[in-house]
């Protein structure tokens, strides 16, 4: 089993990693996944439960998410307000799920685009301060929450991740869940799963999605060793579906 290779993780995050691996092996391997049917209310309930368990001294990163409608396309512009880069926080997930649900329900929208408001950062991954607040119970909930959010994207209308800056960790998992992953031929745009350097496994189905897009040793190195790749390599191995040369959007 390829996932046995990931059991190198540090003791600190071992509970979270084992929970993720067991879910992955139970629901996805070796058979192909069935179509997802995830209710947004389940995700909102999980967010509320985790927020209630927060340490009083911890403040979740605020997020701004706006919808732009153009013809029959809905563009979700997202941004972490208290960080130089975009980070996946509970507030970010909460705002994204609201926008995604609204666009999915609209009869006037045929496609949904995720686009960062920060030109140099699509998403740098999960907020490590948030991860460090998790205990055994909330770690299970957090892992399931991110997985359900990714499933909700997969089950949505056709989606596009428009990647104009670096794309790491949970941000890359979000992108891999999209129907199309589009980026630009720029040297500063990188893709990777830095979780390995912290002793973590990509917990939002990133391992599964990466390996099914195009099974390759490159993905194994990304997930297990934290290898970063550029846009050309990402296109070659299926992380990206399109590379654009014209940056005048």
| pLDDT tens digit sequence for 212-233 | 766 677 777 887 788 899 999 9
Does the annotation count 173 as an active-site position?
yes
Q: Does the 40-244 domain belong in CATH 3.90.226.10?
A: yes
- The CB density around residue 191, as the number of other CB atoms within 10 Å, is 27
Does the annotation count 195 as an active-site position?
yes
- 29 band by pLDDT with thresholds 50, 70 and 90: very low
Residues in the chain: 249
Q: Please give the Cα distance from 173 to 191 (Å, whole number).
A: 11
**C-alpha 9: how far from chain center:** 20
Q: Say what percent of the chain tops pLDDT 90.
A: 44
| pLDDT tens digit sequence for 31-50 | 444 455 678 888 999 999 88
Q: Please give the Cα distance from 102 to 89 (Å, whole number).
A: 20
Q: Please give the Cα distance from 115 to 162 (Å, whole number).
A: 5
Per-residue pLDDT at 3:
41
Q: Between 130 and 215, where is the model more confident?
A: 130
Give yes or no for a contact between 18 and 25, defined as CB atoms under 8 angstroms apart.
no
Q: Domain locations in the chain?
A: 40-244
Place of tokens 């195009």: 214
Which residue of the set 79, 95, 164, 195 is catalytic?
A: 195
Pairing state of beta strands 180-184 and 159-162?
Answer: parallel
Q: How far is CA 173 from CA 52, 55, 238, 240, in A?
A: 26, 27, 13, 12
Q: What is the rounded average pLDDT of the residues 126-153?
A: 84
Q: Please give the Cα distance from 74 to 206 (Å, whole number).
A: 25
Which residue of the set 79, 95, 164, 173 is catalytic?
A: 173
3-state secondary structure string, the chain?
CHHHHHCCCCHHHHHHHHHHHHHHHHHCCCCCCCCCCCCHHHHHHHHHHHHHCCCCCCCCCCEEEEEEEECCEEEEEEEECCCCCCCECHHHHHHHHHHHHHHHHCCCCCEEEEEECCCCEEECCECHHHHCCCCHHHHHHHHHHHHHHHHHHHCCCCEEEECCCEEEHHHHHHHHHCCEEEEECCCCCCEECHHHHHCCCCCCCHHHHHHHHCCCHHHHHHHHHCCEECHHHHHHCCCCCEEECCCCC
| pLDDT tens digit sequence for 148-173 | 888 889 889 999 999 999 999 989 99
Place of tokens 């009083």: 56
């Amino acid at each position: 089993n390829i996932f046995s290779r990931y059991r190198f993780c540090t003791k600190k995050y071992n509970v979270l990693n084992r929970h993720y691996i067991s879910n992955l092996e139970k629901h996805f391997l070796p058979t192909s996944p069935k179509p997802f049917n995830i209710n947004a209310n389940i995700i909102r309930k999980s967010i509320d439960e985790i927020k209630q368990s927060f340490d009083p001294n911890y403040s979740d990163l605020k997020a701004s998410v706006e919808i732009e409608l153009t013809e029959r396309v809905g563009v979700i512009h997202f941004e972490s307000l208290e960080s130089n880069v975009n980070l996946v926080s509970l507030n970010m997930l909460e705002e994204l799920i609201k926008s995604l649900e609204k666009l999915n329900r609209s009869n006037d929208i045929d496609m949904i685009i995720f686009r960062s408001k920060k030109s140099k950062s699509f998403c740098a991954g999960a907020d490590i301060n948030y991860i460090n607040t998790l205990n055994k119970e909330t770690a299970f909930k957090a892992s399931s929450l991110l997985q359900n959010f990714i499933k909700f994207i997969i089950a949505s209308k056709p989606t596009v991740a428009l990647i104009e800056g670096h794309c790491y960790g949970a941000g890359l998992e979000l992108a891999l869940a999209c129907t199309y992953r589009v980026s630009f031929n720029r040297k500063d745009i990188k893709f990777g799963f830095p979780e390995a350097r912290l002793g973590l496994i990509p917990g939002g189905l990133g391992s599964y999605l990466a390996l099914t897009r195009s099974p390759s040793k490159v993905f194994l190195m990304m997930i297990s060793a934290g290898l970063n790749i550029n846009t050309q390599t990402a296109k070659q191995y299926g992380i990206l579906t399109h590379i654009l040369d014209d940056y005048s959007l």
